[in-house]
Amino acid sequence: SYTTDTKSREENKKTIESLYSLSVDITKIRRLKEWVLLQDVTYVKEIAGILQEMGADETTVANIIERCPEAILHTPAEINSQKALWQLVCQNEKQLIKLIEQFPESFFTTEYHQNQKANILFFQELGLKNNIITRFLTSAPNIFYNPVEKNKNVLETLQRNYLNLGGSEANMKIWILKLLSQNPFILLNTSTTIQENLEFLQKNDFTDQEVLQLLSKLKGFIFQLNSTTMQKSMLFSKNVFKCSDQELKQLVLKCPALLYYSVPVLEERLEGLLKEGISVAQIRETPMVLELTTQIVQYRIKKLSALGYDIKSGNLESLNGTKKDFEATYGKIQSKKERPIFNPVAPLHIED
């Protein structure tokens, strides 16, 4: 609704003066979104006033406007409505202003106000905790732009499939809430995509129990794929590891990344491992290593080599896991290396 034709227009002097009075860095706005400064109507003082009422100091107000200049194009009524909406899930104004400073674009997207409200209420009814809903609002705001019926439809499809695959009615709600909190972006898919992907796995001889296992392991990422890419990735793995369909299935259950990553990604990661002197047989034994980027693998190998640990002859388990897992493994290897061969305080048994 705002014009972005900047050729023949001049900056709004009143806007510039108001921004100066708030110590906003105008050169930043000129560089990022100059078109905002050309609008005839802006609400600089009003928006700053609302933010200050919530407890924002001058630096915070300036920071918010610099990061999201469009904020000044919204009417006070729109921002007050948005404030009331976010207060449904925020503990207090202090938490709210902190979120606005970190994620101003999410807060100042007011076009979908009714959908946002309906979805917040729906998520609360579903049993999602407010702190998870605030995380969604900031890190996955576009799921709130969907009409609530669309989100309900996707979740109903998931629930129906969960029961069809042998999941229990008693665990269904916990399963859905966990899946949603791990990956809210599943709501951006259509019910058809979800159905097709599950059918693809069943056609590839995964049992209902195994499909359920994959859904939980993949944290819902499977719904962002399509049968063509999954087919290509599986074929690539089958050729690389020279295995039967049954063996491939076991590898995928062990490491769902073989299904999730595209062929170019798998190819690059495999090459990175081979360059480090790791064999295909070792990778087949511990396929989870393909979940790590080449940079992470190189860094971890370097750290382990410094301790004298030879990854080429050992197994790859020590490379696996999250940063925390790796640090724990590294610590164990390090302390083993530093431990004295004999215990100096133990009594020596010397024969007479």
Q: Identify whether residues 102 and 156 lie together within a single domain.
A: no
Q: Which of 225, 251, 271 is the last residue of a domain?
A: 225
The whole-number average pLDDT for the span 188-210 is: 88
State yes or no: pLDDT of 25 exceeds 90.
yes
Residue 350 falls inside a structural domain? no
CA distance 27 to 34: 9
Q: Identify whether residues 55 and 127 lie together within a single domain.
A: no
pLDDT of 270: 93
Q: Is the dihedral angle over the CA atoms 130, 136, 137, 139 positive or is it negative? A: positive
Q: Identify whether residues 175 and 85 lie together within a single domain.
A: no
Residue 344 falls inside a structural domain? no
Q: Identify whether residues 211 and 116 lie together within a single domain.
A: yes
- Is residue 166 within 8 Å of residue 209, measured between CB atoms? yes
Q: How many structural domains does the chain have?
A: 3
Using alpha carbons, select from 315, 257, 325, 248 the residue that is nearest to residue 281.
315
Residue 2 falls inside a structural domain? no
Residue 349 falls inside a structural domain? no
Poorest-pLDDT segment among 2-16, 201-215, 278-292:
2-16
Q: Which of 164, 195, 225 is the last residue of a domain?
A: 225
pLDDT of 3: 52
269-300 pLDDT tens trace: 999 999 988 889 989 998 999 988 999 988 98
CA distance 237 to 232: 9
- Is residue 232 within 8 Å of residue 263, measured between CB atoms? yes
Q: Identify whether residues 51 and 92 lie together within a single domain.
A: yes
Confidence grade of residue 7 (pLDDT, cut at 50, 70, 90) = very low
Between helix 58-67 and helix 44-53 the angle, nearest 10°, is 130
- Is residue 154 within 8 Å of residue 189, measured between CB atoms? yes
Residue 343 falls inside a structural domain? no
Q: What share of the chain is helix, strand, coil (3-state, %, to 5)?
A: 70, 0, 30
| CATH code of the domain in which 171 resides | 1.25.70.10
State yes or no: pLDDT of 346 exceeds 60.
no
- Is residue 322 within 8 Å of residue 292, measured between CB atoms? no
Residue 345 falls inside a structural domain? no
State yes or no: pLDDT of 352 exceeds 50.
no
Residue 188 falls inside a structural domain? yes
Q: Identify whether residues 31 and 93 lie together within a single domain.
A: yes
Residue 3 falls inside a structural domain? no
pLDDT of 306: 87
Which range of residues forms the domain containing residue 245? 235-338
What DSSP designation does 91 have?
S
pTM: 0.76
Q: Identify whether residues 140 and 50 lie together within a single domain.
A: no
Neighbours of 351 (CB within 10 A): 3
Q: Identify whether residues 136 and 123 lie together within a single domain.
A: yes
Q: Identify whether residues 241 and 298 lie together within a single domain.
A: yes
- Is residue 61 within 8 Å of residue 22, measured between CB atoms? yes
In this structure, the dihedral spanned by the alpha carbons of residues 115, 120, 123 and 125, taken in order and rounded to 10 degrees, is -110
pLDDT of 120: 97
Q: Identify whether residues 119 and 182 lie together within a single domain.
A: yes
Between helix 44-53 and helix 13-21 the angle, nearest 10°, is 30
Confidence grade of residue 339 (pLDDT, cut at 50, 70, 90) = low
- Cα distances from 241 to residues 101, 159, 265, 285, in angstroms, run 49, 35, 16, 10
Q: Which of 173, 194, 225 is the last residue of a domain?
A: 225
Q: Identify whether residues 25 and 87 lie together within a single domain.
A: yes
Q: Identify whether residues 95 and 134 lie together within a single domain.
A: no
> Across all residues in the chain, what is the average pLDDT?
88
